[in-house]
Amino acid sequence: MKKLITLIFLIIFTHSSYAQLFSKERVKYRENWDQKLLTYGYYLGFNSLDFKFQYKTDAHKDISVKSSTGFNVGLIGSLRLSDYFDLRFEPGLSFTSRTLTYPESYTTLTDDFTSTSNSERIVKSTYVYLPLLLKINTKRINNFRPFLLAGASAALNLSSNEKSLDDNSAGKFRTISNPNFLELGFGIDFYLPYFKFSPSIRGVFGQGNELIKDMDSNSPWTGNISKMQTRGFFINFTVQ
């Protein structure tokens, strides 16, 4: 997946660079768009998220995470700060799922981890996503303009199970309902005759501990985990 994403952006950037820099016809579309104080748009995209674990001891530290491709959708509000800086608010929804697999070595006298019912936990997340980002633009070259994105985001996870009285002993994995993230990425603005199209990719880095521990402090599912944080990336396609 990561190799495919890299190839897609390389093809887009290479084709755009050649077309814009070496083409004899250089008609500029939407020349005054970047002079507007406020602009709006929407985005669609997908994500791939996993978890990074920190363990209390080296024993039982081999939890594996299988990511699935999730989906993003939302709106964009952009405030022009200067020729090269914009402040963007991108409220939206993000859906993702991660499967945790515990090795057979986690087996205890009461819990058999050769059984899928104990060794696998599917962690579904539905985020109401609220990122605030600084967009750092380069100089526009004909009809394209690369940019960087950096910022932070808060989220409300509607599927966190944080307040559930059941835990892993009843098959329910719990996470906090209000995670926070740092984000860093890049993209390219393409100025087209009727709108601006902007593909972008950015890394997402969870802050703090997102795990809700089981009732039993010696639980084989959560007892040896000191911290669990989201890691992954978003790819969005924006229309303004």
- Cα dihedral sign for 106, 108, 110, 112? positive
How many residues in the chain?
Answer: 240
**DSSP string computed for 163-203:** T-S--GGGT---B-SS-EEEEEEEEEEEE-SS-EEEEEEEE
Give percent above pLDDT 70 in the chain: 89
Residue 7: inside a domain: no
pLDDT of residue 13: 52
60 exposed, middle or buried (CB, 10 Å; 0-12, 13-18, 19+)? Answer: middle
Q: Which residues pair with 228 in a beta bridge?
A: 53
pLDDT of residue 213: 94
pLDDT of residue 21: 47
Q: Side chain identity at 180, as an amino acid letter? A: N
pLDDT of residue 28: 77
The Cα 186–Cα 9 span in angstroms is: 10
The Cα 181–Cα 203 span in angstroms is: 10
Q: What predicted TM-score, i.e. pTM, was given to this entire model?
A: 0.82
Please determine, for residue 233, whether its predicted confidence score (pLDDT) is greater than 50.
yes
For the domain that residue 224 is a member of, what is the CATH number?
A: 2.40.160.20
Residue 3: inside a domain: no
Please determine, for residue 17, whether its predicted confidence score (pLDDT) is greater than 70.
no
Residue 22: inside a domain: no
Say how many C-beta atoms besides its own lie within 10 A of residue 78's C-beta: 21
Q: Which tens digits make up the pLDDT trace of 70-115?
A: 999 999 999 999 999 999 999 999 999 999 999 888 888 788 888 8
90 is in which domain, residue-wise? 37-239
Domain count for the chain: 1
Are the C-beta atoms of residues 97 and 116 closer than 8 Å to each other? no
pLDDT of residue 97: 95
pLDDT of residue 20: 47
